[in-house]
A and B are shown apart, each in its own frame.
Chain A
Amino acid sequence: MEVHNYITLEFPSRSANEGFARAAVAAFAVQLDPTLEELGDIKTAVSEAVTNAIVHAYPDTIGKIMVKCRILEGDVLEVAVRDWGQGIADVERAREPLFTTGGEERSGMGFTIMESFMDTLRVTSKEGQGTKVTMRRRIAQRTARR
């Protein structure tokens, strides 16, 4: 698949960076001319993925998080959020609504929201090696919307 544009962000797993990550992805996505609702969906999904990495991948340490955004053929935005933390023992279970190991701070709805707000969601993880969450969303062309 042809890649039209890309950016890569790297930052430590500090919660102050959650806002930066979603704002940066939104600023990159603007070139696809999304609606405010599409942009809101993308920001929400990115926020969930980055927060999961901060809370679950590195519960007691500060580690590296990488966010890679690509614009693919057909006005598709791809966002990959990667960490090198604890990993998820059972990905299927983690994706179930309301499942959480994050205590009262988390609702267990992160993956459900990513799935609902993006077109596709792929999660690969290995215990002790980290997790990669890849999401794609096609941005409909303005002319097609009218």
Chain B
Amino acid sequence: MEVKTKVEDRTLTIALQGDLDHHAARGLMEQADRLMEQNLPSKTILDLGGLTFMDSSGIAVILRAKRRMEALGGNLVVVNIPKQAARVLETAGLARYVKLI
């Protein structure tokens, strides 16, 4: 999985490309933690537009990023969710906890 990042006006954007599964999730979580700690963003945008597949490992990644952002006093937004990933997030009822656009 490929990860592209951008920081602008205290907004951190993390754009994902490829398959987000358990194999990819661990490295991604560590990378996201590091980026948040280094940049102290007030908002993090997780852009899923480039994902070709996502399973419940993506839920764990999103919930962890949300907790980290809340600890920093900021918020997390998940955008450009592909259809297959949206079905996974809907099944988990994630819209109750995270802002999905």
A140 close to chain B: CB less than 8 A: no
Inter-subunit contact B60/A19 (CB<8 Å): no
B18 nearest in chain A by CB position:
A19
The residue on B at minimum CB distance from A45 is B55
Are A51 and B64 in touch, CB under 8 angstroms? Answer: no
Say yes or no: B87 contacts A48, CB within 8 Å: no
Partner of A19 from B19, B29, B83, B91 at Cβ < 8 Å: B19
Judge whether A112 and B25 touch: CB under 8 Å. Answer: no
Give the secondary structure class of A's interface: helix
Cβ of B23 and Cβ of A112 under 8 Å apart?
A: no
A51 touches B91 (CB 8 A): no
CB distance from B74 to the nearest CB of A (A): 19
Asked whether, in the complex, the Cβ of A107 is within 8 Å of the Cβ of B53, the reply is no
State the CA gap A47–B25 with chains docked (Å). Answer: 13
Does B42 interact with chain A (Cβ within 8 Å)? Answer: no
A: number of interface residues (CB 8 Å): 26
Residues of chain B with a CB closer than 8 A to A85's CB: none
Q: How far is the CB of B98 from chain A (nearest CB, A)?
A: 12
Q: In the complex, which residue of chain A has the Cβ closest to the Cβ of B54?
A: A44
B-side residues, CB < 8 A to A, are 19, 21-23, 25-26, 29, 53, 55-57, 59-60, 63-64, 83-84, 87-88, 91-92
A43-B53, A104-B29, A110-B56 known; 18 new pairs, CB 8 Å cut-off, are A15-B22, A15-B23, A16-B23, A18-B23, A22-B53, A37-B84, A37-B87, A44-B55, A44-B84, A51-B55, A51-B57, A54-B22, A97-B92, A106-B22, A109-B91, A112-B91, A113-B91, A117-B87
